[in-house]
Structure 1
Amino acid sequence: MRLIYQFIKQEESHFAVRLLCNTLKVSTSSYYEYRAGITFQLSITEQEMTNSVQDVFWGNRRRYASRRVQKALQEQGIEVGRHQIRRLMKRQNWQAIQPRSFVPRTTDSRHGLQACPNLLLELGQPVRPDQAWVSDITYLPLSGGGWLYLASWLDLFSRRVVGWCVDVTMEESLIIRAFDQAASLRRPQSGLIAHSD
C-alpha cells in the first residue's frame, strides 16, 4: 500500500489526487492520512478476527467462502458478519477454490454391441421370489478422494438385495462376482431372468 501512496504523491503534481486514488482504488482520506504521517494499523480485535478467519479458511483447504467461514466461526461462538469476513478475506487476497465436480460413468452406451431382448417386458410383475433379478452399478465417494464401485443384484419380487460386491475398478468381474454371491446364497431354480445394463 505504501508504494501506491508514494506513487500518488509523486504524480499528484500532474493529476488530481481524487483521480489517482479512484484509478488505483484507494481511499482519498487514507492517502491524506498517509501524507500526514498517520499509519494504518489493524486493531487488536480485527487482527484476532483475521486470525480466526485464517484458521477456518486454511484449515478447510481453501474450500470455504465467506458464508461457510461465518457458519464455522458461529459454531465456535464467534459472532461476525459475512460482509466483514468477505472484506477481511479480500484484504488478504484469500479466495475460495471450487473443486471440479466429477461423477464417474457407470454405463458405457458406446460399446456397439447388440442389446439382448428385455425379457422383463414379457414377464410383467413377478409373482414369486427368485423369478427376476435386476442389477446396477453405482459409485461410492471416499472421504480422502477417489471412488469405490458397488454392484448389486435385487430380487424384483421381494425388493431385497440378494448379492453385492465392491471394488476399486469397474470391470465385468464386479457384476459377475455379485451375481455368483447371489446365486450361491439363493440357489434360484431354472428360468430366472437376470437383467442388467
Structure 2
Amino acid sequence: MMCRIYGVTRDGYNSWRRRGVCERRHEDSELFVHIRSIFNRHDGCYGSPKITQELKKKGINVGQKRVARIMRNHGLRAVKSRIYTARPGTYRHVYGIKCKIEGIKLTRPNQLWVGDVTYIKLGDGSWQYLSVVMDRYSRKVVSWSLSDRRDVSLTLSSIDRAVRNRGHHRELIFHSDRGSEYLSGQYRERLRRYGITQSMNRVKNMNDNAFMESFFHQFKTERIKRQAIDTAKQLRSTVTEYMRYYNTQRSHSSIGYVSPHEFEYKINC
C-alpha cells in the first residue's frame, strides 16, 4: 500500500531500505574504531558516558545511546567499582574533633583536602598501606605515600608531601575518618604547624569521607584487581602510573568530563 501511495515499486523501496541499513552499519563500524581506541587507551575503565564526551572532544557528535549500543554489540564493558556503604554499629569511640565540612561550599582548589589509608595484599603474602591526600574541589591527588606499616609516619609523610606540592593556604581544612593515624598528637600538631584545620567524620557517618572511599574502590577495581602484583616494588610502580593517569587523563563527570589537571589549569587561566 505504501508503495502505491508514494508511487514507487516494491523492489525500489526494498533496495532503498537495504542501502540505509548498510550505510548505518558502515558508520557504526567507523565509529567503533574510535570507541575501541578510547576504551583501550583508558584500559577498559570508560563506559558510554565518558566515551561519548571523548568523542565530542574529537569533533564526533554522537548520542550516548548509540555509543552504548555499539559497545554492547562488540562486548565492550567498562569495569565497575562498588561504592562504600555505611554499616551502623561499626564506629569508633567518640573523639573531640568535629566534622567541619557539612554544608561547605567549595569554590576553589586548596580549600578542602581529604585523606584516607587503604591496605593492599601482595602476591607474596605481605601487606602494603597506601595513604592519599586529595583536593576535594578538583579531585586531584595532591600526594600519596606507601609503607609496610600503617602508622602515623605514613600519614605524616603524605601530608608533608601535600604541603610541599601545594604550599600553605589560609583557611584550608583537612578531613579524614577517625583512624588512629589521624588522631595521634603528632599528626594533630603537624596540622597546627601548617595552619590546617582538622575535620573528621561524624560518628556513625562514614559517608562524610565517601570521596576517598570511592577513589580507593575505583583504584583497586581499575588496577589492583586486574593484575598480579607480587612485590612492593611492583606496587609502587603501579601506583605511580595510576596516579599520573588519574590526575592528567582520567575524566570526571562532576568537573565537566575533564581530568583534574585540566580542570585546575582552566581555573588558573
- Which bracket does the TM-score occupy, shorter chain normalised? 0.3 to 0.5
Structure showing greater relative contact order (alpha-carbon pairs closer than 8 Å, 6 or more residues apart): 2
TM-score of the superposed pair, with normalisation by structure 1: 0.42
